[in-house]
Amino acid sequence: MFSYRHAFHAGNHADVLKHMVLVATLRHLAEKETALALLDSHAGAGLYRLDGDYAATSGEAADGVLRLLQVPAAQRAEWPAALTDYMELLAGFNPSGGHRIYPGSPFVMHRLARPQDRIKLFEMHPTDGKTLQANIDQLEAGRQVVVFREDGFEGVRRFLPPPSRRALLLCDPSYELKSDYGRVVELQTMALQRFPTGSSMVWYPIIARNEAHILPRKLKSVATRAGKPWLHATLTVKAAKQVAAGERRPGLPGSGVFIVNPPYTLKPALEQALPLLVKLLAQDENATHTLETQGG
């Protein structure tokens, strides 16, 4: 149950998609003065070293954020705003240049939070939970950021609806357990019942598993039945390959994000950014993206 460690995957193409969308969403939500509740159901360790042993073992960042950082600055100046904003946020974690530090979702949230916003982080992994708490302690953020070393699927329930009546819920479990797919749908259903005007964002892997294929359809159904607008974006960088017994897994071919009550600015932002990400991060001729919306 506790074998997954995001440190092996930090900065890969899935993180690029997830965190670019997260940054764009938070930027829009912060335009209103009212406080935000930011909930991260599976927070991980919070900060990662791209030159550390974990990242070096997988090498996934080399085909993700490190590939973007290799693009000459003159070309990056022409990138769409959503991608530029994401890259500028990363640069803020590496003020001396280079690209050693990669921020996970908790630190993306904290970097973009205002003084009135409150962040609740959940992480069950015993090692990552301890590391997350140590990383958050360095921020000296006081009560603005609270870490809960418990099951995020259950823990976020007691914070919905928030006192401010504004929230963003991020749910990105490891999906190591097949039951995670069903629990994601249950969490989305609960969130819409308890707080129908809140925004929620689900990340999921695009892999050769029936549960992964069905998940976005179920999330669309939940949002549609509730009468809420949604946005669904995917980024695929290569073809999925079947793995024979004993063979090493070839790495994640793609991932998707599903957002209920998305900012109206998100669709046009992704229409510009996703085609460029396909071009920059493609690993074979099967690289592609999709972008769907309903309502709003």
Find the helix or strand (DSSP H, E) in which 65 lies: helix 65-69
42 is in an annotated binding site: yes
Q: Is 104 annotated as a binding residue?
A: no
Per the structure block, which two tokens stand in for 121?
């982080």
Catalytic residue flag (residue 172): yes
Q: How far apart are CA 286 and CA 279, in angstroms?
A: 11
Residue 239 β-bridge partners: none
Annotated ligand binding at 19? The verdict is yes
Rama region for 59: left / alpha / beta (φ>0; ψ in -120 to 50; rest)? left
Q: Which amino acid is at 134?
A: A
CB 132 within 8 A of CB 75: no
The verdict on whether residue 63 carries a ligand-binding annotation is no
- Give the position of tokens 């609740």: 120
Among 177, 183, 114, CA closest to 155: 183
Pick the catalytic residue from 63, 85, 117, 172.
Answer: 172
- Compute how many other C-beta atoms are within 10 angstroms of the C-beta atom of residue 88: 11
The answer to whether the annotation marks 9 as part of a ligand binding site is no
- Return the axis-axis angle of helices 81-92 and 266-281, rounded to nearest 10°: 70
Phi, psi of 124 (to 5 degrees): -90, -25
Indicate the annotated binding residues for S-adenosyl-L-methionine: 19, 42, 105, 123, 151-152, 172
Indicate the annotated binding residues: 19, 42, 105, 123, 151-152, 172
Catalytically active residues are 172
